Amino acid sequence: MLKKFFVKNKKGFSLIEMMVVVIILGLIVLGLVTFFTGGAKSWVAGQSQLEAQRNARQAMDIMVREIREGNSIASGSNATSITINYLASFGKSPVTYNLPSGTTTIKRGTTHLIDSVLLNGEDIFQYYNSNGIEVTSPDSTVSKVHINLKVDVDNDGNPDITLNTDVNLRNYGL
């Protein structure tokens, strides 16, 4: 009896039915590939954003630590450059952080510190005296430095990461 049932249906699938199945499966696979590709791109973008944020935070921490230890800011400092002088008892040479003109890399002396830094018409370093008044031409009266660090991860001209902090020179006036 079971044998009769299988023999009865000898027709199979037509070419049109097979083509419809292949097209439907192709659309499903295309949708899945698009979905997973978008997810992978988002993950990569998130990872690069995370790495840039980590690098910016580390660079900021290094600058803050060294500025805080200083006892004066050298007179050659400006909106994109800062030179910190230390007490002789520290036995430490002056340290300079600068963003050379036409570049996007802040350097500590000649050593690379962080890439993709944006100015966007704003100063990276702002200087204040002990009365809290901004000093436009930094000299030995500077006791506080404001750091405004903007990083453009995807190079679209807009900052993706912005870090701001105020640093008081711990050894100012000693």
DSSP the chain: -HHHHHHH------HHHHHHHHHHHHHHHHHHHHHHHHHHHHHHHHHHHHHHHHHHHHHHHHHHHHHHH-SEE-TT-BTTEEEEE--GGGT---EEEE--TT---EEETTEEEES-EE-TT--SEEEEETTS-EESS--TTEEEEEEEEEE-SS-SSS-SEEEEEEEE-TTTT-
87 band by pLDDT with thresholds 50, 70 and 90: confident
Average pLDDT over every residue of 147-156:
88
- State the CB neighbour count (10 A cutoff) for residue 111: 6
For residue 23, is pLDDT > 90? yes
What does the pLDDT read at residue 2? 53
Q: What is the mean pLDDT of residues 35-40?
A: 94
pLDDT tens per residue across span 106-142: 999 889 999 889 887 788 999 999 899 998 888 878 8
Per-residue pLDDT for 171 more than 80?
Answer: no
Half-sphere exposure of 94 (CA within 13 A, CB side): 14
CB 66 within 8 A of CB 95: yes
Q: Of the ranges 37-41, 73-77, 124-128, 129-133, which one carries the lowest mean pLDDT score?
A: 73-77
- The answer to whether 127 and 135 are in contact (CB under 8 A) is yes
Instruction: Report the pLDDT averaged over residues 64-69.
Output: 91
Q: In the chain, what percentage of residues exceed pLDDT 90?
A: 45
Whether residue 155 is predicted with pLDDT greater than 90 in this model: the reply is: no
pLDDT on residue 4: 54
39 has a pLDDT exceeding 90? yes
Residue 30 pLDDT level (bands cut at 50, 70, 90) = very high
Q: How many CA atoms lie within 13 A of 74 on its CB side?
A: 15
Percent of the chain exceeding pLDDT 70 equals 93
pLDDT of residue 103: 87
Q: What pLDDT is attached to residue 13? A: 80
